[in-house]
């Protein structure tokens, strides 16, 4: 089941998304998490913590879950 993550801005960086989705506890863990886990954004492997996620984007992390970014 895909979880929905709501953002109130135009976009959210991938590193902040990981924290907002309760995947990591602090923003400082993002670099480590992305180096140790596969993260797919819209079906493509991406390890850039600054990657801009916008409403409609989908994030999949094998073993963790699938997420959809939704705006207000």
Fold of 2-71: 3.10.290
CA distances from 5 to 30, 39, 45 (A): 17, 16, 19
Entry pTM: 0.90
Show me where the domains of the chain are located: 2-71
The pLDDT assigned to 13 comes to 97
The reported pLDDT for the residue numbered 58 is: 97
Vertex 33 angle, CA 11 and 51, to 5°: 25
Render 25-53 in DSSP notation, one character per residue. Answer: SSGGGHHHHHHHS--EETTEE---TTPEE
**7-62 tens-digit pLDDT:** 999 999 999 999 999 999 998 899 999 999 999 999 999 999 999 999 999 999 99
Q: Are 23 and 67 in contact (CB under 8 A)?
A: no
């Amino acid at each position: 089941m895909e979880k929905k993550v709501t953002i109130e801005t135009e976009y959210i960086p991938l590193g902040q998304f990981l924290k907002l989705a309760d995947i990591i506890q602090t923003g400082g863990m993002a670099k480590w998490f992305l180096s140790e886990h596969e993260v797919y954004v819209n079906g493509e492997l991406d390890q850039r913590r600054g990657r801009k996620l916008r409403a409609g984007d989908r994030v999949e992390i094998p073993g963790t879950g699938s997420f959809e970014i939704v705006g207000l």
